[in-house]
Amino acid sequence: MGAFVSYEFARRLKREGRPEPLQLFVSACIAPHEKLVQEPTYNLPEPEFIAELRRLQGTPAEVLENAELMQFMMPLIRADFKASQTYQYIPGPPLECSLRAFGGLKDDTAPREKIETWSQHTRGSFRAQMLPGDHFFLNTSQALLTRIIAQELLMHLDKGSGRIQHA
């Protein structure tokens, strides 16, 4: 869901005539114009929804097994799923900023070809990169992802002054 939120925020800045971000990073998410082909899961009965969370392997078992914590977290998790699964893309002009899209090599929900179509949403530079792991590749490729993002951000720095260089 974070990819859609950050993308829509950048679009709003553009619509309002405000400066866009220099760089937009999105991960583990199909491009906004792509259709979600799976059935929604946010509205499943609780046992089935928890089974889906286990299948996705993004929620630690310790959390799923803690009834009190799950009672608190369940509405938040469902809301996150609902927002991402019911997102409706409205066509508009592409962003001007650089866009970097990441995916997991073993992610069935956001495969490479759907990650690469993020390129349609920017006039700036675009690069897609697949990293080891599944939908939650952040857990298995955190150091690599952090290094890539840091290098990308450093490219925006003016080496002489240490200030951000506007593209």
Per-residue pLDDT of 67-119, as tens digits, reads 999 999 999 999 999 998 899 999 999 999 999 999 999 998 899 999 999 99
99 beta partners: 24, 126
Whether 87 and 32 have beta carbons less than 8 Å apart is answered as yes
Q: Are residues 32 and 64 in the same domain?
A: no
Expressed as residue numbers, the domain containing 58 is 46-85
- What is the sign, positive or negative, of the torsion defined by CA atoms of 66, 67, 69, 74? positive
Neighbours of 127 (CB within 10 A): 14
In a domain, 53, yes or no: yes
Strands in the chain per DSSP E = 23-27, 98-104, 126-131
The CATH number linked to 112 is 3.40.50.1820
Per-residue pLDDT of 46-64, as tens digits, reads 999 999 999 888 888 999 9
Q: Are residues 51 and 29 in the same domain?
A: no
